[in-house]
Amino acid sequence: MKLSHKLEYACRVMAQLGRFHRQEKFSHIDGLSEAEQIPANYLVQILNELRTAGLIISKRGKQGGYALSREPREIELKSIVQAIDPELLERNFTDAGHSGARVASLWSEVSATLETKLEKYTLEDFVMRDENAQMYYI
């Protein structure tokens, strides 16, 4: 399975935000970009999509930045996928032709299994806890 860089980057930045969720401070885009080695101009787009999906919040101003909208254990991997790469979950098979129905049925089963797995994992599973890690504040 080939996942997009955009989805990978979204998972990484969400994990980074999850590391410092309880500190109730907002992370600056430059710090997130540096920590996860994601180009800042691309990260802005990703963060906007995550914000639009309600997974993160943003705040303008000197004390502004980005933070998770809720606890990491409450954010399913599926919701990140839906926000960033919803086509990954699309089922677009038809039952045309002699074998179409069977092919569509099997791929639908595979797709359903993927969705079940995506619902099983949460952002908490991605978060690396490191008490000595630096936090990037504005």
Indicate the domain borders of the chain: 5-125
Q: Any alpha helices (H) in the chain, and if so which ranges?
A: 5-19, 29-36, 40-52, 77-84, 100-120
Please name the helix (run of DSSP H) or strand (run of DSSP E) that holds residue 67, with its range, or none: strand 65-68
Average pLDDT, integer, range 14-33: 90
Q: Show Cβ contacts of residue 27 under 8 Å, excluding neighbours closer than 6 positions.
A: 16, 17, 20, 65, 66, 67, 135, 136, 137
> What tens digit of pLDDT does each residue of 46-63 get?
999 999 999 999 998 877
> What tens digit of pLDDT does each residue of 96-133 get?
889 989 998 998 899 999 999 999 999 999 887 665 45
16 pLDDT more than 70 = yes
Per CATH, domain 5-125 is 1.10.10.10: yes
* CA-to-CA dists, residue 127 to 2, 5, 15, angstroms: 22, 19, 5
Looking at the chain, the whole-number percentage of residues with pLDDT higher than 90 is 67
